Chains A and B, each alone.
Chain A
Amino acid sequence: MGNPMKIRAANKDGITEVKVLISHEMETGQRKDANGAIVPAWFITELQAKHGDKVVLQGEFGTAVSKNPYLAFKFKGGAKGEKVTVSWKDNKGDSRTDEAVIA
């Protein structure tokens, strides 16, 4: 179970804007530790955002996505009080799902 992410969702004129901030190391697999050994790649590979039951975004990340990934996108629809869910999984098999209420 990864660390909690921060999701902000706000509806304006029928469009819901979602901003996500995820806590994740996103190790590239190119960094060396203090002993000179390579720190293995550890990064989010897939991400999915849903509005209720509807998938509104699917993403695939590589190691070039920054540490503590940030994501912003918009979709048509969504009303105040409805739920937006974001899930991710990484290359080590860890995963996380968090939700937020549309403001």
Chain B
Amino acid sequence: MNTQRRNVLKAGSGAALLSLLATAGIITPGMALADWNKAAFDAKSMADTLKALGAEAPADSKDVQVTGPDIAENGAVVPVGITTTLPGVTMVAILIDKNPNALAASFTLPEGTEANVQTRVKMGQTSNVYALVKANGKFFMATKEIKVTLGGCGG
């Protein structure tokens, strides 16, 4: 059981803890902890993660790209991004197959924001990195293998 869950349960109930924190001014009413997609981030495999995201059978798409180098000198910081020319994109997410939990990050894109987001992720080992895109209600996916090396002198 992870620490966060244990603390919330200790507080009696999630709601009680939230209101306590809200009155303490720590969590503002607009951003409730419950918004974070715990199920998706806790899922381990690609299959379970896609299920938790409601994206069980994404279609392969040549119009979606994983951006990033072929080789990362260090797995702690791997620059990756998602870019797509598909219209009507509302959500993009980065999944890393061989990581303990496949989902690294997900982004909701309002109207007017380009479907082109870059960030940096941790990769435990060489793995396929997946870009998941939700466009016009349908899910699409593309992949790229990024090799993670061990550098030279012990990192």
Q: Are A61 and B3 in touch, CB under 8 angstroms?
A: no
Q: Are B108 and A93 in touch, CB under 8 angstroms?
A: no
Q: Could you write out 30 A-B pairs with CB less than 8 Å apart?
A: A28-B122, A45-B36, A46-B31, A46-B35, A54-B110, A57-B108, A57-B109, A57-B117, A58-B107, A59-B106, A59-B107, A60-B35, A62-B41, A63-B101, A64-B101, A64-B103, A64-B104, A64-B121, A65-B120, A66-B76, A66-B78, A66-B121, A69-B120, A72-B119, A73-B113, A73-B116, A76-B114, A93-B21, A95-B26, A95-B31
Chain B residues closer than 8 Å to A60, beta-carbon distance: 35-37, 41, 105-107
Q: Smallest CB–CB gap between B104 and chain A, Å? A: 4
Q: How many residues of A contact B (CB 8 A)?
A: 37
Chain A residues closer than 8 Å to B33, beta-carbon distance: 45
Most buried by B among A15, A40, A64, A93: A64
Q: Does B96 lie at the interface of the complex (its beta carbon under 8 Å from any beta carbon of A)?
A: yes
Q: Smallest CB–CB gap between B38 and chain A, Å? A: 9
Q: Are B36 and A71 in touch, CB under 8 angstroms?
A: no
Task: Please give the residue numbers on chain B whose beta carbons come within 8 Å of chain A beta carbons, in ascending order.
Answer: 2-4, 21, 26-28, 31, 33, 35-37, 41, 76-79, 81, 96, 99-101, 103-110, 112-114, 116-123
A65–B76 Cα gap in the complex (Å)? 9
Q: Are B4 and A41 in touch, CB under 8 angstroms?
A: yes
Q: Are A77 and B112 in touch, CB under 8 angstroms?
A: yes
Chain A residues closer than 8 Å to B79, beta-carbon distance: 70
Q: Are A91 and B4 in touch, CB under 8 angstroms?
A: yes
Q: Smallest CB–CB gap between B14 and chain A, Å? A: 13
Chain A residues closer than 8 Å to B21, beta-carbon distance: 93
Q: Smallest CB–CB gap between A57 and chain B, Å? A: 6
A65–B101 Cα gap in the complex (Å)? 11
Chain B residues closer than 8 Å to A67, beta-carbon distance: 76-77
Q: Are B26 and A93 in touch, CB under 8 angstroms?
A: yes
Provided the pairs A72-B118, A74-B113 are in contact, do residues A61 and B105 lie with their beta carbons within 8 angstroms?
yes
